[in-house]
């Protein structure tokens, strides 16, 4: 009975007793969730447009952030460094298209997926050779990103909002809105969706696969850069961030692999679920459940709705 | 010319279905076994055994395990490290509970624990496929990694949260722990791997192997010829995890002599997956090739600069290693998506018709 | 292969009956209130224009789709839906419109896979591949070799089917279905995409299977010549409805069928 009390009742009592802590936990979860969504968004972009599940999204994020910091350390002014990093991401996109995707066109999905594994390893090695393996500090001030926090007195206590977190949420929202418009309204967006449905059919109506792939990988690279700056500002820029990319997987499962709003909603559910779970139920299990809770949430969810929240239902034909 | 089957007639279906239907292959495999069992123990140095041969044996077994699941049944798993860990910790508990039991037996039995855990995490595989299933196995990986730290019972409440392998014997000879010689550990590992490889090749050539491949190639058609998907997939999970579990127990007991949660983390899972991809999905022999390449490559890379008289920092070598492995994976996928095993087949075909082009 | 057993259903009796079956996907009605039966030992053709619901009908019969309404009576047992495993176990085999072979396996392994339900040795013997397991394997290999002989595909036995030309793939697929020794064989456009010679070969195989092994066959086919020559009775579907049912001659004269195929002037 005691254990049931601890699982079913006590956490909620705690939430009621200290609502300020609860709101703080929700906020932290929300921010983490938004950042997960950003990584997931990179996945969705590439998956939507080329059917490739890009495992390298995480390392692309680290690579972009490292390039930015590395250039700045060499004395390049911050915003010029930012522009140069964008160029580097474009070069990377072109390189990936030439050297990896083009030779593998029309191979099964799983082969392409594995190729992005190879890409991940390659970029880890390349990043370490160029920039060294040690963690670096994000150039927050040089980019005029805010520091410090607002305190909001409420619920008999206070809730702290880190300014950088607020900035992250705003930037993420703007990017998502922009991408949604891009996908729905522009000619390139329509072409992207066509490619996602069928490579061959898209080719036959005169869409250039090569161009489209460069565009999506480049866009995903920019999303990776934004994500890298945000994550880097909250902690350090290090290769450990790469593992965060895996957290995007449960987000995608919840949101569906092809839905942009899904990536956002999924990210927030995972982020909030993870933080609240860790804070209120974690101590019961000896804490650290954050490392797997997201995956288990996704797993349970999958059993009931295999196509995700916003994914299209698949009718199997034969 | 030399590798030719002309004149070798098979007079029964049993002979046609044999593991090595061609005489030259039988001679080759006999020679390899002779070298592995007799020549190597006589002449190999401790260094060669400890940092090359034993690791390759252990990793090959894990790769075979993953290959049964991913290569033969088409179920992508990123939880290999976790399942290996279950085997290692189970074996550790077994040695604590039965200190006098034959350690070889315990190593093999610990695979059963892993098979049980693997089956539980395989349960979602009926509802979900592909990448979605990969995420389910990722849940297994992270959850198990967490268990290996948070459940002190698993490592006998050791302060270091690691397992220290005790000295245990088989037939009176120390096989594990500080008193066991490298040669003993090598021979035990070799025997287990040879036996389990033989069993795996039997399974994949028979009814069960065919049902696995049928599910991999077209699950709908498989169901309509009367294959029960659920059972087939679960069996693949169980047997695959069994192999991984034994490999994990061997990793702790016959190779490193110690292990902790970190030894079985997500990177281990990826490493084994790479071996399977580079070696060849759906090839038992490929698993050995993959393990040799992925494990051997860094050793070669480390030795190469010295060989050419160049000094390179150890850290740089490690980074280069990542780049080379990554590039190799992409290279192999482009050149031959079926891996080293397929290249080997092509080479054999060429040998067969040599000196003619075809 | 075996002769039709007396205990199941006698020749000429109803082997399978579809009763008032309706199937829809979301708002699209693929099949509406269709009833027909298949008698033991006959060749039954299902024809109709594209999108008439023919393939969906086969999918309902062997349990891949679950109909919203209606029943299926097979070997005297009535059920609201078939499950794929039960269908296979009960003796329904199937080939597909777009060849559904196991592409990574050899032709031999594909056909051997068709014997799965007939093989019973468990994991233990499979692991050792010794004694009973090996005997079983050899015994079924012999049965499979008979099918390989019958279909004249000895030369491609050990070729992965993904590398075979289309016509041969269709033959291997038929082989896999035959390996199940079915009581009812469902053929979905067995001659689609074939040239005249291949069509003649395939027609011969279909007739041989029907006559020598007594297998009941239901087939979907677009080539009217083939349908009229092969089949004993024909059911015609249009937009998911049954519009005619009878012998080839009766169907050929039916005004509804002529309209469906040639269009009506309004």
Domains of chain A by residue range: 38-242
- Confidence check: pLDDT of C3 > 50: no
Assess if residue C96 is contained within a domain. Answer: no
Q: What residues in C contact B227, CB-CB < 8 Å?
A: 113, 116
| Closest chain A C-alpha to C93 CA, distance in angstroms | 14
- Domain boundary residue, one of C114, C147, C181: C181
Instruction: State the sign of the Cα–Cα–Cα–Cα dihedral A36, A37, A42, A47.
Output: positive
Residue in the block written with tokens 């049931």: A4
Cα–Cα dist C1/C12, whole Å = 20
Over residues A261-282, the pLDDT tens digits come to 778 888 888 888 888 888 888 7
Copy the structure tokens of residue A67. 């390039």
Q: What is the dihedral of CA C143, C149, C151, C156, to 10 degrees?
A: 100
Give CA–CA dist B175/C225, Å, rounded. 75
Give the distance from CA C230 to its chain's centroid. 15
Does the pLDDT value for residue A305 go beyond 80? Answer: no
Q: Per-residue pLDDT for B304 more than 80?
A: no
The answer to whether residue A309 scores a pLDDT higher than 70 is no
pLDDT tens column, B47-100: 889 888 999 999 999 999 999 999 999 898 999 999 999 999 999 999 999 988
Chain A 278-317, CB below 8 Å of chain C: which residues?
Answer: 315
H or E segment to which residue C17 belongs: strand C14-25
Q: Which residues of A touch B130 (CB under 8 A)?
A: 109-110
Which helix (H) or strand (E) covers residue C235, if one does?
A: strand C233-238
- Rounded CA-CA distance B95/B76 in Å is 32
Nearest to C222 by CA among C54, C62, C18: C54
Task: Report d(CA B178, CA A118) in Å as an integer.
Answer: 38
Q: Do the beta carbons of residue B278 and residue B333 sit within 8 Å? A: no
Q: Is the peptide bond before B349 cis (omega within 30 degrees of 0)?
A: no
Q: What total number of domains does chain C contain?
A: 2
Residue among C25, C55, C100 minimizing CB distance to A315: C25
| pTM for this model (two decimals) | 0.88
Give the relative orientation of helices A244-255 and B130-150 as an angle to the nearest 10 degrees: 130
ipTM (interface predicted TM): 0.88
Residue with tokens 């604590």: B96
pLDDT score recorded for residue A311: 59
Residues of C in contact with B217 (CB under 8 A): 101-105
CA C163 – CA C103 distance, rounded (Å): 8
Please, are residues C81 and C69 in contact by the beta-carbon 8 Å criterion?
A: no
Specify whether the CB–CB gap between A55 and A297 falls below 8 A. no
Q: Are residues C75 and C123 in the same domain?
A: no
- Indicate yes or no: CB of B17 within 8 angstroms of CB of C103: no
Tokens standing for B199? 């069993």
Dump pLDDT digits (tens) for B192-224: 999 999 999 999 999 999 999 999 988 889 999
Domain coordinates of chain B in residue numbers? 22-353
User: Which of A277, A274, A273, A252 has the alpha carbon at shortest distance from A264?
Assistant: A252
Identify which has the larger pLDDT, A275 or B348.
A275
Please give, rounded to a whole number of angstroms, the shortest distance from the CA of A53 to a CA of chain B. Answer: 8
Let me know how long chain A is.
318
Q: C247 in a domain, yes or no?
A: yes
Cα–Cα distances (Å) from A67 to A79, A243, B319, in that order, read 13, 19, 17
What pLDDT does residue C1 have? Answer: 41
Contact C104 B14 (CB under 8 A): no
User: What residue in C sits closest to B72 (Cα-Cα)?
Assistant: C104
Owning domain of residue C196: 1-91+182-266
In this complex, do C141 and B17 lie within 8 Å of one another by their Cβ atoms? yes
* Inter-chain CB proximity B206 and C137 less than 8 Å: yes
Asked if C216 and C15 touch (Cβ cutoff 8 Å), the reply is: yes
Judged by CB atoms closer than 8 Å, whether chains meet at A318 and C25 is answered as no
Q: Is A205 helix (H, G, I), strand (E, B) or coil?
A: coil
Coil, strand or helix: which one is C39?
strand
Virtual torsion, Cα B237, B241, B244, B248, nearest 10 deg: 160
Contacts across the B-C interface (CB distance below 8 Å): 101
Task: Write out chain A residues lying below 8 Å of B266, CB-based.
Answer: 243, 246
Among C181, C201, C235, the domain boundary falls at C181
Q: Do B223 and C89 touch (CB under 8 A)?
A: no
CATH of domain B22-353: 1.10.3470
Q: Give the nearest chain B residue to A47 (CA atoms).
A: B131
Domain for residue C206, yes or no? yes
Neighbouring CB atoms inside 10 A of B337's CB total 18
Residue B148 has pLDDT above 80, yes or no: yes
Residue B346 in contact with partner chain A when CB distance is under 8 A: no
Chain A residue whose CA is closest to C95: A318
Q: Tokens standing for C64?
A: 């891949």
Give the pLDDT score at B4: 63
Mean pLDDT within A312-316? 58
Do residue C12 and residue C120 come from a single domain?
no
C1 part of contact set with chain B, CB < 8 Å: no
User: Measuring CA to CA, which residue among A315, A304, A197, A310 is closest to residue C25?
Assistant: A315
Same domain, C50 and C134: no
Does residue A298 belong to the interface with chain B, where contact is any CB pair within 8 Å?
A: yes
Most confident residue range from A184-188, A306-310, B184-188, B346-350: B184-188
Q: Which of B50, B285, B269 is nearest to B138 (CA)?
A: B269
Q: Are residues C128 and C171 in the same domain?
A: yes
Size of interface A-C (CB pairs under 8 A): 8
Whether the CA torsion A310, A311, A312, A314 is positive or negative: it is negative
Residues of C in contact with B12 (CB under 8 A): 138
Residues C203 and C222 grouped into a single domain: yes
Q: How far is A220 from chain C (nearest CA, A)?
A: 34
- Does C114 fall in a domain? yes
Of C137, C152, C181, the residue at which a domain comes to its end is C181
The backbone torsions φ and ψ at residue C43, rounded to the nearest 5 degrees and listed phi first, read -105, 120
Contact B124 A111 (CB under 8 A): no
- Phi and psi of A51, rounded to 5°? 65, 10
pLDDT band at C5 (very low <50, low <70, confident <90, very high): very low
Q: Judge contact between A29 and A276, C-beta under 8 A.
A: yes
Beta-carbon separation of C100 and A318 below 8 A: yes
Dihedral (C-alpha) C28, C29, C30, C31: value to the nearest 10 degrees? 170
Q: What single-letter DSSP state applies at residue A201?
A: H
How many residue contacts between A and B have a Cβ separation below 8 Å?
Answer: 126
Q: Is C26 in a helix, a strand, or coil?
A: coil
Q: Is the pLDDT reported for residue A302 higher than 80?
A: no
Residue in chain C lying closest to B235 (CA): C123
Q: Do B139 and A299 touch (CB under 8 A)?
A: yes
Among candidate residues B157, B144, B140, B150, the one with its CA nearest the CA of residue B92 = B157
What is the distance in angstroms between the Cα of B71 and the nearest Cα belonging to chain A? 11
Has residue B358 got a pLDDT over 70?
no
Integer-rounded Cα Rg, in Å, for chain C is 19
Question: Taking the CA of residue B180 as centre, how many other CA atoms within 13 Å lie in the half-sphere pointing to its CB?
Answer: 29
Give the separation between CA A170 and CA C247, rounded to whole angstroms: 72
Chain C CB contacts of A315 under 8 Å are 25
C140-157: per-residue pLDDT in tens?
999 999 999 999 999 998
Contacts of A110 in chain C (CB under 8 A): none
Q: What is the CATH number of the domain that holds C24?
A: 3.40.50.300
Q: Do residue C7 and residue C77 come from a single domain?
A: yes
Question: Between B182-205 and B103-122, two packed helices, what is the crossing angle to 10 degrees?
Answer: 40
Q: What is residue A310's predicted lDDT score, i.e. its pLDDT?
A: 64
CA dihedral (A100, A103, A105, A108) positive or negative = negative
* Burial degree of A288 (CB within 10 A; 0-12, 13-18, 19+): middle
Q: Which residue has the higher pLDDT, A84 or B299?
A: A84
Q: What is the pLDDT of residue C4?
A: 42
The answer on C135 and C26 residing in a single domain is no
> Is there a contact between B224 and C87 if contact means CB atoms under 8 Å apart?
yes
* B160: exposed, middle or buried (Cβ count in 10 Å: 0-12, 13-18, 19+): exposed
Question: Which of 295-334 (B) contact A at CB < 8 A?
Answer: 315-316, 318-330, 333-334
- Name the pLDDT band for A25 (thresholds 50, 70, 90): confident
Distance from the A256 Cα atom to the nearest Cα atom in chain C, whole angstroms: 20
Q: What percent of chain C has pLDDT over 70?
A: 94
Q: Cα–Cα–Cα angle for B192, B195, B196, nearest 5°?
A: 80
Mutate to test the interface with A, among B275, B322, B336 (most CBs of A within 10 A): B322
Residues 6+ positions from C227 with CB-CB distance below 8 Å: C45, C47, C219, C221, C234, C248
Alpha carbon of B26: minimum distance to chain A alpha carbons (Å): 33
Q: Tell me which residue has tokens 């309209």.
A: C259
Q: Are residues C82 and C3 in the same domain?
A: yes
- Asked whether B318 and B260 are in contact (CB, 8 A), the reply is no
Q: Please give the Cα distance from A163 to C164 (Å, whole number).
A: 64
Do β-strands C69-74 and C77-79 pair in parallel, antiparallel, or remain unpaired? antiparallel
Taking the Cβ of residue A318 and every Cβ of chain C, the question of whether any pair is shorter than 8 Å is answered with yes
Q: Which of residues 224-253 of A touch B (CB under 8 A)?
A: 243, 246, 249-250, 252-253
- For β-strands A149-154 and A157-162, DSSP reports them as antiparallel
Q: Which residues of A touch B134 (CB under 8 A)?
A: 249
Task: Give, for B173, the enclosing helix (H) or strand (E).
Answer: strand B173-176
pLDDT category of residue B240 using cuts at 50, 70 and 90:
very high
In terms of Cβ atoms closer than 10 Å to its own Cβ (0-12, 13-18, 19+), residue C262 is exposed
> What is the three-class DSSP state of C177?
helix
* Dihedral, B124, B129, B134, B136 alpha carbons, nearest 10: -20
Residue C235 lies in a domain: yes
């Amino acid at each position: 009975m005691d254990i049931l009390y601890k699982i079913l009742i006590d956490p909620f009592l705690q939430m009621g007793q200290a609502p300020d802590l609860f709101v703080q936990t929700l906020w932290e979860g929300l921010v983490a969730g938004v950042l997960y969504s950003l990584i997931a968004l990179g996945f969705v972009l590439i998956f939507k447009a080329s059917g490739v599940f890009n495992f390298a999204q995480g390392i692309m994020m680290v690579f972009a952030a490292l390039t930015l910091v590395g250039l700045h350390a060499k004395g390049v002014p911050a915003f010029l460094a930012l522009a140069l990093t964008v160029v580097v991401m474009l070069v990377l996109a072109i390189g990936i298209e030439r050297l990896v995707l083009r030779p593998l066109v029309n191979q099964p999905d799983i082969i392409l997926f594995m190729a992005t594994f190879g890409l991940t390893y390659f970029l880890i090695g390349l990043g370490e050779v160029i920039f060294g393996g040690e963690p670096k500090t994000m150039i927050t001030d040089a980019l005029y990103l805010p520091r410090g926090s607002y305190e909001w007195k409420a619920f008999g206590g206070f809730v702290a909002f880190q300014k950088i977190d607020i900035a992250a949420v705003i930037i993420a929202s703007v990017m998502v809105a922009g991408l949604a418009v891009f996908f729905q309204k522009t000619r390139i967006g329509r072409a992207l969706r066509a490619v996602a449905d069928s490579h061959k059919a898209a080719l036959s109506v005169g869409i250039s696969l090569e161009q489209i792939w460069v565009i999506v990988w480049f866009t995903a690279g920019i999303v990776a850069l934004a994500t890298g700056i945000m994550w880097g500002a909250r902690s350090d820029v290090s290769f450990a961030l790469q593992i965060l990319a895996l957290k995007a997987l449960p987000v995608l499962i919840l949101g569906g692999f092809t839905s942009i709003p899904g990536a956002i909603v999924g990210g927030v559910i995972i982020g909030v679920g993870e933080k609240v779970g860790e804070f209120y139920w974690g101590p019961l299990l000896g804490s650290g459940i954050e490392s797997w809770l997201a995956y288990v949430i996704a797993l349970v969810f999958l059993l009931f709705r295999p196509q995700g929240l916003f994914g299209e239902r698949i009718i199997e034909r034969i | 010319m030399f590798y030719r089957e002309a004149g070798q007639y098979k007079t029964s279906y049993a002979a046609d279905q044999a593991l090595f239907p061609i005489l030259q292959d039988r001679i080759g495999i006999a020679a390899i076994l002779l070298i592995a069992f007799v020549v190597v123990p006589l002449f190999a140095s401790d260094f060669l055994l400890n940092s090359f041969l034993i690791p390759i044996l252990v990793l090959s077994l894990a790769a075979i395990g993953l290959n049964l699941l991913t290569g033969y049944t088409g179920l992508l798993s990123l939880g290999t490290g976790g399942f290996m860990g279950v085997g290692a910790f189970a074996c550790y508990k077994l040695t604590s509970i039965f200190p006098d039991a034959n350690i070889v037996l315990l190593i093999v039995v610990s695979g059963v624990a892993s098979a049980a855990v693997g089956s539980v995490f395989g349960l979602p595989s009926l509802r979900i496929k592909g990448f979605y299933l990969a995420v389910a196995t990722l849940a297994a990986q992270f959850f198990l990694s967490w268990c290996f730290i948070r459940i002190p019972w698993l490592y006998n409440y050791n302060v270091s949260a690691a397992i220290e392998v005790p000295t245990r014997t088989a037939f009176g000879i120390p096989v594990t722990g500080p008193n066991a010689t490298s040669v003993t550990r090598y021979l035990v590992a070799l025997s287990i791997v040879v036996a389990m490889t033989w069993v795996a090749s039997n399974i994949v050539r028979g009814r069960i192997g065919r049902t696995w491949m049928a599910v991999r190639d077209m699950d709908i058609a498989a169901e309509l010829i009367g294959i029960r998907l659920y059972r087939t997939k679960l069996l693949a999970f169980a047997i695959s995890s069994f192999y991984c579990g034994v490999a994990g127990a061997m990793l702790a007991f016959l190779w490193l002599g110690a292990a902790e949660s970190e030894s079985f983390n997500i990177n281990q899972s990826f490493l084994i997956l790479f071996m399977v991809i580079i070696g060849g999905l759906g090839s038992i022999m490929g698993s050995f090739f993959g393990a040799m390449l992925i494990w051997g490559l860094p050793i070669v890379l480390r030795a190469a600069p010295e060989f050419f008289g160049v000094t390179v920092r150890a850290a740089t070598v490690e980074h280069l290693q990542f780049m080379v492995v990554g590039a190799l994976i992409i290279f192999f996928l482009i050149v031959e998506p079926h891996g080293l095993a397929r290249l080997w087949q092509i080479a054999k075909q060429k040998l067969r018709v040599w000196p003619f082009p075809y | 292969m075996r002769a039709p057993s007396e205990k199941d259903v006698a020749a000429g009796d109803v082997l399978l009956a579809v009763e008032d079956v309706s199937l829809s996907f979301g708002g699209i009605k693929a099949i509406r209130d269709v009833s027909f039966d298949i008698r033991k030992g006959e060749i039954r053709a299902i024809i109709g224009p594209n999108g008439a619901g023919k393939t969906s009908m086969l999918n309902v019969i062997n349990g891949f789709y679950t109909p919203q309404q209606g029943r299926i009576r097979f070997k005297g047992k009535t059920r609201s839906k078939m499950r794929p495993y039960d269908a296979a176990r009960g003796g329904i085999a199937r080939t597909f419109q777009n060849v559904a072979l196991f592409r990574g396996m050899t032709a031999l392994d594909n056909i051997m896979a068709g014997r799965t339900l007939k093989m019973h040795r468990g994991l233990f013997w499979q692991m050792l591949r010794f004694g009973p397991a090996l005997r079983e394997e050899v015994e079924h290999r012999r049965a499979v070799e008979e099918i390989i002989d019958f279909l004249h595909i000895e030369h491609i036995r050990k070729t992965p089917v993904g590398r075979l030309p289309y016509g041969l793939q269709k033959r291997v697929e038929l082989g896999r279905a035959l390996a199940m020794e079915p009581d009812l064989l469902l053929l979905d456009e067995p001659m689609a995409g074939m040239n005249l010679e291949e069509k003649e070969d395939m027609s011969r195989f279909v007739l041989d299977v029907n006559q020598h092994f007594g297998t009941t066959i239901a087939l979907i086919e677009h080539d009217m010549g083939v349908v009229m020559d092969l089949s004993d009775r024909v059911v015609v579907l249009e937009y998911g409805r049954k519009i005619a049912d009878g012998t080839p001659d009766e169907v050929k004269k039916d005004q509804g069928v002529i309209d469906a195929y040639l269009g009506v002037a309004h």
